[in-house]
Structure 1
Amino acid sequence: MLLDAALGEPRWLWDRVPHPAVLMGRAVGWCDRVLNRGTARRARGVAAMLGLGLLALGLGWGLAQLGPTAEVIGAAILLAQRSLVDHVAAVAQGLRVSLEDGRHAVAQIVGRDTGAMTRSDVARGAIESAAENLSDGVIAPAFWFLVGGLPGLLLYKITNTADSMIGYRTPRHEAFGWAAARFDDLLNLVPARGTAGLILATHGLWRRWEQVAREARQHRSPNAGWPEAAMARALGVALSGPRSYHGERRVFPYVNAEGRRDIGAVEIEAACRALWRTWGAALVLVTVLALLL
């Protein structure tokens, strides 16, 4: 965690060799091209995830045999705190220049349409991405590394990568991506709730747990709603709400609907501080667990 926070994603390295996440994406893409055809697509998707999962476990076990240095480097590469904060902060910086710059920056981290976003829409998108990726990119990888070492971490990352690529309810991927989406839901069950707890704890908001839990259960995702609802209350803002995907306007209920809706760069920067505060609490927690165990 400390290495990742200090170094992030050094471009001099990843401009020369492919990042492990890129290699995982290529593996998932290959499965999608080769197996996602014909009949029994759900069964084919299950087989793809079994193969990818076994490959990840085997690779993690092999790398772990090289010793603790290889494990530490591998884990640092696959954690994404510094990268997450940098990308979210870039949206705030863009908004301070112009709305168009803010839209361009947020388009790098969200999947929704950005061309017609207002300043508040841009800020909400950045903050939602910050909360969800804090769980997916930092807390969950750290949790599975703690539980299962490098094999556990690689299993989580390949599953999360597969979910982000094929785990959508589209005509092409609803059947084939079913296994990836469901397994990702399972692996994020504990980390998502843990992330929400850490956010609330570091902002003195433990009494809001029941409100967060109620809204999280109503969220379109079984896990993303937890850190999102907690972050909304930590910042005092309303998140989620209407947005557009592929030209289609979709209306979702607001999370923390009583929070501020007219938001911008200031709130995004507050979200970045919340990311570091939560990361610090997680670092203390895993250090204590390491000492106890």
Structure 2
Amino acid sequence: MTLILGMILDAIFGEPKWLWSRIAHPAVLMGRLIGACDLRFNAGGQRKAKGILVLTALVIAAGLLGCVLHAFPGQIIDVLVVAVILAQKSLVDHVRAVADALRLSLGEGRRAVAMIVGRDTRGMDKAAVARSAIESAAENLSDGVIAPAFWFLIGGLPGLLIYKIVNTADSMIGYRTPRHADFGWAAARLDDLLNLIPARLTAFLIWAVTTRPDPHGILQDAPLHRSPNAGWPEAAMAHGLDFALSGPRSYDGQMRDYPFVNATGNHHLKPADIDRSVQVLWKTWALMLAIAFIAAL
């Protein structure tokens, strides 16, 4: 029942500003810790070894913290931690905000989507803004909702917090840049491993709640993605709603010629199509809630 209650609390309250404007969100605290480790240890030689040791220490600390929190009597601490770590309502709010902004103007849409994607947004047309929001919806559904819930079912609070610290580390240092290629190697590889099953589970759930397209399209297009895991929910969303996702985009002023996922799908995406993806987010959440209920039985 812990996961069920946590999912429902997150879906209702999300991340209330009145609370997190007064105290630091746990994800923010994790980010500060990882940033401090990056500044302190990502220097000199043997950076890959240092990165492995730092990540090992972070994983052990997160696991121990989960054990300590779980030791408190009752389920209230566990439920609150689950609700705080999950990000269903926050994801829906951010994606829906892009649709609302895009209805006002292209400039507003670009500013809104820049809050949830890392690519260049200045030169985007309306279809590119909508496509970016939908891709972010699919990828973050896996990272922010399904994967944390999965690892809670597998390992309780320790499993949940270990996943979150690794995923946060990957988002901060898991890049193939001169500074982080070695130091962030362990974070990137472990994050890939921890998301291996959840990403495919997310794809299956999206497939189940949409039009249930021929799964061969998902199986064929998912490996086209530059990420070994993000392509799965993205391909499922693309085929489930018959959208063309991914494709060329710009990072730091440099165009990347990525292939389209479901290239024959609709390229002319609009705010209403973002709304359709939000409906899929909620349907997928509901199916995961049903799985949690079955697991509780």
TM-score range, shorter chain: over 0.9
User: Which of 8, 14, 19 is the equivalent residue of 1:8?
Assistant: 14
Distance in 1 separating the partners of 2:219 and 2:61: 35
Q: Does 1:144 align with 2:151?
A: yes
What is residue 194 of structure 1 aligned with on the other side?
A: 201
Pairs within 5 Å for 1:73-88: 73-88=80-95
Partner residue in 2 for 1:132: 139
Matches within 5 A, 1:55-134: 55-67=61-73, 68-134=75-141
Secondary structure of residue in 1 paired with 2:250? strand
Q: Does the aligned pair in 2 maintain the 1:200–1:208 contact within 8 Å?
A: no
- Whole-Å separation in 2 of the counterparts to 1:92 and 1:26: 31
Distance 1:208 1:46 in 2: 41
User: Could you tell me which residue of structure 2 aligns to residue 255 of structure 1?
Assistant: 261
Find the counterpart in structure 2 of residue 277 from structure 1: 283
Partner residue, 1:44: 50
Which TM-score applies when normalising by structure 2?
0.96
What is the alpha-carbon distance in structure 1 between the residues aligned to residue 9 and residue 170 of structure 2?
A: 27
2:104 partner amino acid: V
Read off the aligned partner of 2:81 and give its amino acid letter: G
Q: Secondary structure at the match of 1:237?
A: coil
Deviations 1:23-53 (A, max 9, x none): 0000110111011100111101101100110
Residue-pair matches, total: 290
Q: 1:239 aligns with which of 239, 245, 261?
A: 245
Q: Please give the TM-score of this superposition, normalised by the length of structure 1.
A: 0.98
Q: Equivalent residue for 1:213?
A: 219
- Distance in 2 (CA, whole Å) between partners of 1:246 and 1:216 is 25
- Report the counterpart of residue 35 of structure 2 in structure 1: 29
Instruction: Point out 4+ residue stretches in structure 1 off by more than 3 angstroms.
Output: none
Is 1:267 the counterpart of 2:256? The answer is no
Deviation at 1:236, TM superposition (A): 1.0
Deviation at 1:216, TM superposition (A): 1.2
CA distance in 1, matches of 2:293, 2:69: 23
Deviation (angstroms), 1:132:
0.2
**Contact kept? 2:135, 2:246, Cα under 8 Å:** yes
Structure 1 residue 70: Cα displacement: 0.3
CA distance in 2, matches of 1:119, 1:66: 50
CA–CA distance in 1 between the matches of 2:211 and 2:289?
Answer: 18
Following TM superposition, by how much is the alpha carbon of 1:218 offset from its aligned partner in structure 2, in angstroms? Answer: 2.4
Deviations 1:223-265 (A, max 9, x none): 0000000001121110000100001111100000000001120
TM-superposed deviation, 1:210: 2.2
CA contact (8 A) 1:217 1:225 kept: yes
In structure 1, list runs of 5 or more residues that go unmatched: none
In structure 2, runs of 5+ residues without a counterpart are: 1-6
Matches of 2:164 and 2:216, distance apart in 1: 30
Equivalents in 2 of 1:194, 1:208: separation in Å?
16
Deviations 1:7-36 (CA, angstroms, capped at 9, x unpaired)? 100111000000000000001101110111
Equivalence for 2:160: 153
AA in 1 matched with 2:164 = K
C-alpha separation between the residues in 2 aligned to 1:8 and 1:37? Answer: 38
